[in-house]
Amino acid sequence: MVLKNESDYEKASERIDEIFGAKPGTPEKKELEELLKAVKAYEDDFIRMLRENDM
């Protein structure tokens, strides 16, 4: 899963809030893990972009 823009990021964050605390072994837990990875990657890319523009 790749978040391509701010809208994707916001939707993913909202969904994380909805399913946070999902029980292990459920489809929601797997979805939560994937969303968390995608959000982290998006945030890391955003921070990297800010640093590059700061130089």
| Pairwise CA distance, residues 6 & 3, whole Å | 8
Domain count, the chain: 1
Taking only the tens place, the pLDDT of each residue in 1-53 is 999 999 999 999 999 999 999 999 999 999 999 999 999 999 999 999 999 99
- Residue 47 resides in a domain: yes
- Residue 1 resides in a domain: no
Q: Provide the domain limits for residue 42.
A: 6-17+27-54
- Residue 39 resides in a domain: yes
Cα 42 to Cα 17, 18, 27, 53: the distances in Å are 17, 19, 23, 17
Q: Within a 10 A sphere around the Cβ of 53, how many other Cβ atoms?
A: 7
- Residue 22 resides in a domain: no
- Residue 31 resides in a domain: yes
